[in-house]
Copies of this chain bind each other. A is one copy, B any other.
Amino acid sequence: MVLTYNGLDKQGQPTYGGYSSHIVVNEQYVLKVPPALPLTGVAPLLCAGITTYSPLRKWGVGKGHTLGVIGLGGLGHMAVKFGKAFGAKVTVFSRSDRKQKEAERLGATDFATISQPEIFTRLGRKFDYLIDTISGAHDYNGYLDLLKTDGTYILVGAPAEPISIKAFSLILRRRRLVGSLIGGIRETQEMLDFCGEHGITSDVEVIPIQHINDAYERALLGDVRFRFVIDLKSMAENTP
């Protein structure tokens, strides 16, 4: 298999992952994309999509549940779409009200700007589930206290440094803090099929390879709705 980027193949040559013109794949690792879905919006489903689909399914998010999505980026916007499709009432937590309209468009029924601390009182013990998509350092305990008894706090993003958790917030209300990384091939196919049935894709900005440096700078600033997808046809074109 020559799937990873910058590995070495059997001849000792570097591999190009998704930038390859041809790849050889074991058939057990090939996925079937529902034909009705546009490929550009499907590409991020294989990362942001399955990363959020898998834990929401595993922990049983469904009809009538309350789900809080912390952070509205590539992962967060998929968590909103899946949460809504599974029947949950979704609240988005974001740093400012800049993304409120986007959140509503994606299917959220409530929006909370965490720069206003009163939301932690207003929403206290209201949630069955939280999914935290933020990879930077931030406070976890304010969110933990938003969970009902037996509530589940799902981590799919996290900083490399240890995080600080009030154990008694877990103990007193029998809450749980759980991690999830990605999903297996079988579950990824299930997710793609679900997306086909419900018309779900990632919201993307398609760019030619020549714009990669701009896109990189914008991604660092969080200025992307919600994933960049490179059109590899542009590889054949001259650089501008």
Contact = CB atoms under 8 A, between A and B. Distances in A.
B166 A170 contact: no
Interface in A69-107: none
A119 interface: no
Interface in A154-174: 155-156, 158-160, 162-174
B166 A174 contact: no
A48 to B, nearest CB: 15
Interface residues of A, number: 27
A178 B179 contact: no
A193 B156 CA distance: 41
Contact of A171 (B162, B170, B176, B179): B179
A159 B167 CA distance: 7
A155 B166 CA distance: 11
A185 interface: no
| This chain: copies in complex | 2
A155 B176 contact: no
A176 B174 contact: no
A91 to B, nearest CB: 22
Contacts of A177: 165, 170, 176-178
A115 interface: no
B162 A162 contact: no
A31 interface: no
Contact of A165 (B163, B171, B172, B174): B163
A93 B176 CA distance: 23
A155 B178 contact: no
Contact of A178 (B164, B176, B181): B176
Interface of A: 58, 141, 155-156, 158-160, 162-181
Given A170-B178, A175-B178, 14 more contacts: A155-B170, A158-B168, A160-B168, A162-B167, A163-B167, A164-B164, A169-B179, A170-B177, A171-B179, A171-B180, A173-B179, A176-B176, A176-B178, A177-B178
